[in-house]
Amino acid sequence: MQRLFRDYVGIGPKWVIRRFRLHEAAERVHQGLDLATLAAELGYTDQAHLTRDFTAAVGMPPAAYARLNTRT
């Protein structure tokens, strides 16, 4: 199934799921949820896992991203 997905879409399903979760996290991080709750709701193992993925993709931790978005 993964091979068919990759052949049809051009990228793997794991990449798509990860990007979806990160986009969802970026939208919801400034809603005031604590990061542990957000991580659990998005299917991450723990808050540290969310923070690592988020920082790698966005370039800053979720808390810094939330502060940045509340200033603008």
d(CA 29, CA 32): 7
Q: According to the model, what pLDDT value does residue 50 have? A: 94
The whole-number pLDDT of residue 70 equals 66
pTM confidence score: 0.78
Tell me how long the chain is: 72
pLDDT in tens, the chain (72 residues): 889 999 998 999 988 999 999 999 998 987 878 899 999 999 999 999 999 999 999 999 998 998 886 655
Q: How many other CB atoms are there within 10 angstroms of residue 65's CB atom? A: 18
What is d(CA 38, CA 34) in angstroms, rounded to the nearest whole number?
6
